[in-house]
Structure 1
Amino acid sequence: MKLVIAAATVGAVAAFAPSSMMGTKLSASATRAGGVKMNLEQYKAELAATAKKIASPGKGILAVDESTKTIGKRLASIGIDNSEEARQAYRGLLFTCPEIGNYISGAILYEETLFQNHADGTPFVDCLNKVGVIPGIKVDTGLVPLPGGHPVETWCSGLDGLVERAQKYYAQGARFAKWRAVLQITSDGAPSDLSIQENAWGLARYARAVQEAGLVPIVEPEILMDGDHNVATTAAVQEKVLAAVYKALSDNGVYLEGSLLKPSMTCPGADCEEPVSSEQIAKATVATLEKTVPPAVPGIMFLSGGMSEEEASINLNTMNSFARKGPWSLSFSYGRALQQSCLKAWQGKPENVGAAQAALIARARANSEANQGKYVAGSQPSADETLFVKGYKY
């Protein structure tokens, strides 16, 4: 089987499997270079239990894994300097929010945050565990241009040393991981077969690697909303992408019961002029998932992808309001769509912490209800503006 991958990732892929093993399932008793046994088998029960808990009814994920550069943009929007103290203060108010564990089952952290303490000296990991939220960790090292692909295409870096890093994160208290692959639809050929193949394989190598260290992998093949394509076009591309992803996961022996999927909803491009309803988006999304995602996966935790807070809740609620064949929990792993109102309420002022936490709880409750098909549009306050950012890759 010939597999074309970006030259820059050849060494990283080879670190986990020689080219002769590509397309072949890996035995749990196989060994890595140096004779160290792979550990997936010993973690299977824990992986399945963690994935099931994250995807439990009425629960979802708070994605607070913004890089230092990206969180700086968020803080700048409210006039706050991007200092470690400011990042600590903001994330501290999120992780000590009363009742947050009623609606949030996991929080994805950036590496700085995983090893950081609250202002009172309590490790953030302990803050999260205290409120019943499982700590997770972003493990990729960012997107880079894809040689040989369309000019807009990228691949995700970070496979080198990933098992060892994941072991360190597990020791610190993380129990799941996240890796973001990004694809884009254009009128002149993207995503290319090369981009789909490279990103699917990268997601699969990542997923297998972190499972060997005891971390549940969140598999995130995001399709950006950039473009003027309609829902049907998105659905066709997404079906092809997800089929490639689950083929690669199977080839790498990834334990699906101990994994989660974080896809985009099947939305039209941001510049599409065709009217589209929440029902159309919901039905197209569910239909695409039912064609491609195995029932062994316990949860599908959608990213918000630039939708407004309210729109993300309404679309999720609609998906959970009609009968479907797929058995998975359809829930959320939102960043901006959970934090926008909270950030605006906070404004970097200690006296606003209570108001900021109330705003966070309102959106968390809204999405918890949406996971159960019980959300009433407009019943919770929200920041109604679109959160779409063109070319949101880096």
Structure 2
Amino acid sequence: MNQEQMERMEHGKGFIAALDQSGGSTPKALLAYGIGADAYSNDEEMFRLVHEMRTRIVKSPAFCSDYILGAILFENTMERKIDGSYTADYLWNSKGIVPFLKVDKGLAQKENGVQLMKPMPGLDQLLQKAVQKNIFGTKMRSVIWLADKEGIRAVVEQQFTLARRIAAAGLVPIVEPEVDIHSGEKEEAEKLLKDEIKKQLFRLSPDTRVMLKLSIPTKDDFYLDLMEDPHVVRVVALSGGYSQEEADEKLARNHGLIASFSRALAQGLSAGQSDKEFDQTLSESVRAIYRASVT
């Protein structure tokens, strides 16, 4: 594990950029960027186009370590290059930004008010590849829809079972049990979620470190006590479908909570923009998200 990267993630000022749209969400990300489905005829062309979009974001002068601590990549992005370097190496060596990798394979069907992660049969090989590609940590996402105690327990147990395997491989896992922002039981679900996370943190070995990626809580500063746990490197927040402005406003009310935004980061970016327009739009987004993250 890179200690310089650990120091940056634990104590640095800034936020994490989520650039990890995978096969299922890539068409939506490209469409938001102004590239419709008629622009590609197969997955390889689609992934080439989305890599060009991500490359444009990463190479922009607005995408810099003054504001951004880390970036989460999709497996396909990890295996591609930017200016001759693998994406993770470009991020760290050229930008000073810590690389993470999305490792989950999507969500299972809804059951007990939650969606667990689908099985990950090739996880150990993927983790080995991530270490070889100089990835620092991983991210995996589940979704909580209702305040169902058994469902939430199952989500958190699955997340931490996998987190222990990831940590054993030498990577820092980001545990992401997202509570849907539109849930009518959001606040109660967050209480149950925090209780289950605390139980799992207590069971970790003393040297195991994790990060938590959570929905911005209904009650301000609700996750402050999780930030104080010695196992927790950082608690980060997903935008969860809020507009960038709304997500920033809510985030700013939560001290110590930093952003890990995807849609909110790319909001307003378009393939048709000139480099000047693109960089200006991205710069405004990056600075606004940064301001909300350093409260």
What TM-score does the superposition give when structure 1 sets the normalisation length?
0.66
1:157 is displaced (CA, Å) by 2.4
Picking from 135, 153, 159, the partner of 2:99 is: 135
- Give the Cα separation in 2 of the matches to 1:361 and 1:254: 40
Q: Quick check: 1:242–1:293 contact (8 Å CA) kept in 2? A: no
**Structure 1 CA distance, aligned partners of 2:220 and 2:205?**
26
Asked if 1:305 corresponds to 2:260, the answer is no
- Confirm or deny that 1:218 pairs with 2:174: yes
Matched, 1:265 2:216: yes
Query: Shift of residue 369 of structure 1?
Result: 1.8
Matching residue within 116, 122, 132 for 1:155: 116
The answer to whether the 8 Å contact 1:182/1:223 transfers is yes
The answer to whether the 8 Å contact 1:65/1:138 transfers is yes
Q: Which residue does the alignment assign to 1:60?
A: 15
Distance in 2, matches of 1:139 and 1:109, equals 9
Aligned residue runs from structure 1 range 35-54, under 5 A? 46=2, 50-54=5-9
Q: Which structure carries more strand by proportion?
A: 2
1:358 CA displacement:
2.4
The 1:292/1:124 distance shift into structure 2, 3 A limit, reads: closer
Change (3 A) 1:330 1:64: same
User: CA separation of 1:170/1:337 partners in 2, compared to 1, >3 Å: closer, same or farther?
Assistant: same
CA distance in structure 2 between the partners assigned to 1:136 and 1:50 by the alignment: 11
Q: Secondary structure of 1:72's partner? A: helix
Secondary structure of 2:18 counterpart: strand
Alpha-carbon shift at residue 294 of structure 1 (Å)? 4.3
8 A contact 1:60–1:332 mirrored in 2: yes
* Alpha-carbon spacing, 1:160–1:363, altered in 2? closer, same or farther (3 Å): same
Structure 1 position 252, deviation (Å)? 4.5
Classify the secondary structure of the residue corresponding to 1:108. Answer: strand
Q: Are the counterparts in 2 of residues 93 and 357 from structure 1 also a CA contact under 8 Å?
A: no
Report sequence identity in percent.
25
Please give the residue correspondences for 1:354-373 in structure 2 after superposition, counting only pairs within 5 Å: 354-373=276-295
1:216 partner amino acid: V
In the alignment, is residue 111 of structure 1 matched against residue 80 of structure 2? Answer: no
1:209 has 2:165 as partner:
yes
Residue 206 (structure 1) shift: 1.6
1:164-175 → structure 2 map (5 Å cutoff): 164-175=125-136
Give yes or no for contact 2:115–2:144 (8 Å, CA) kept in 1: yes
Residue identity matched to 2:13: G
Cα distance between partner residues in 2 of 1:357 and 1:340: 13
Deviation at 1:79, TM superposition (A): 3.6
Cα deviation 1:1-56 (Å, max 9, x = unaligned): xxxxxxxxxxxxxxxxxxxxxxxxxxxxxxxxxxxxxxxxxx5xx47x54441243
| Structure 1 residue 161 displacement after superposition | 4.0
Deviations 1:84-128 (A, max 9, x none): 33112101111112152211111000000000123x444222321
Note closer, same or farther for the CA distance 1:298–1:109 as it changes in structure 2 (3 Å cut): same
- Structure 1 residues 121 and 202: alpha-carbon distance in aligned structure 2, compared to 1, 3 A threshold: same
Secondary structure at 1:319 match in 2? coil
- Structure-2 change in CA distance of 1:357 and 1:254 (3 Å): farther
> Quick check: 1:333 aligned with 2:260?
yes
2:52 corresponds in structure 1 to: 89
Residue 240 of structure 1 deviates from its aligned partner by 1.1
Residue type of the alignment partner of 1:335 = S
Show structure 1 runs of 5+ residues with no match: 1-42, 186-190, 268-283, 321-328, 374-394
Inter-partner Cα distance in structure 2 for 1:179 and 1:240: 20
Moved beyond 6 Å, runs of 4+: none
Contact 2:149 2:192 in 1 (8 A): no
TM-score by length of 2: 0.87
Determine whether 1:246 maps to 2:198.
yes
Q: Tell whether 2:142 aligns with 1:196.
A: no
Tell me the distance in 2 between the aligned counterparts of 1:178 and 1:252. Answer: 18
Structure with max Cα Rg: 1
The answer to whether 1:315 aligns with 2:250 is yes
Identify the residue that residue 43 of structure 2 maps to in structure 1. Answer: none
Following the alignment from structure 2 to structure 1, what is the Cα–Cα distance between the partners of residues 155 and 294? 32
- Deviation by residue 1:241-295 (Cα, 9 ceiling, x = unmatched): 1221231243353745x3211110124xxxxxxxxxxxxxxxx131x32455543
Instruction: Report SS of the residue matched to 1:222.
Output: strand
